[in-house]
Amino acid sequence: METIKVNLNTIFVVTIAILAFLLLKQCNKVQDLKLENKVGVQNIIALNDSIRIVKNKWDEEITLKNTYITSGKELENINKNLSDKIKKLEGDVLYASNIISSIKTDTVFIENEVIRYPDGTNQLSWSYNKDYGNGNSRFLDGNSRFSIDLSDSAFSILDKGTSITRDITNLSILTGLTELDESYQIFVKTDYPGITFSNIEGAILDKKRFLKQTQPNWIFGPSIYIGVGADPKNGTAGPQIGLGISATFNLNKYLNNIFK
Q: Per-residue pLDDT averaged across 48-57, rounded?
A: 93
Alpha-carbon span 144 to 161, nearest angstrom: 6
* DSSP assignment string, 101-163: EEE---------EEEE-TTSEEEEEEEEEEEEETTEEEEEEEEEEEEE-TTSTT--EEEEEEE
**Pairing mode of beta strands 183-190, 136-148:** unpaired
- C-beta atoms surrounding 204 within 10 Å: 23
Q: How many CA atoms lie within 13 A of 79 on its CB side?
A: 25
pTM beyond 0.75: the answer is no
At residue 206, the pLDDT reads 79
Q: Tell me which of 62 and 258 has the higher pLDDT.
A: 62
Q: How many CB atoms lie within 10 A of CB 131?
A: 11
Q: Answer whether 69's CB lies under 8 Å from 43's CB.
A: yes
Determine the average pLDDT of the residues in 94-107. Answer: 91
Nearest CA-CA partner of 79 in 186, 170, 203: 203
Q: Are 65 and 82 in contact (CB under 8 A)?
A: no
| Cα–Cα dist 193/171, whole Å | 10
Spatial separation of the C-alpha atoms in residues 6 and 236, rounded to whole Å = 19
The H or E element spanning position 54 is strand 52-55
As beta bridge partners, residue 229 has 238
Q: Please give the pLDDT value at position 259.
A: 42
Question: What's the confidence (pLDDT) of residue 36?
Answer: 76
Please provide residue 33's backbone torsions phi and psi, each rounded to the nearest 5 degrees: -65, -40
Q: Quick one: what percent of the chain has pLDDT higher than 70? A: 68
Q: What is the pLDDT of residues 199-250, one digit of tens each?
A: 999 999 877 777 666 555 555 555 555 555 555 666 565 555 555 555 554 5
Q: Say if residues 227 and 257 touch (Cβ distance below 8 Å).
A: no
Q: What is the mean pLDDT of residues 17-22?
A: 61
Mean pLDDT of 178-205: 92
Q: What is the pLDDT of residues 134-178, one digit of tens each?
A: 999 999 999 999 998 887 777 788 889 999 999 999 999 999 999
What's the mean pLDDT in 41-46? 91
Residues 65-74 have a mean pLDDT of: 87
Please compute the mean of the pLDDT values over residues 15-25 and round it to a whole number: 60
Q: Which residues contact 17 (CB under 8 A, 6 or more apart)?
A: 226
Give the count of beta carbons closer than 10 Å to the beta carbon of residue 123: 16
CB under 8 Å to 195, separation ≥6 — which residues? Answer: 101, 102, 103, 171
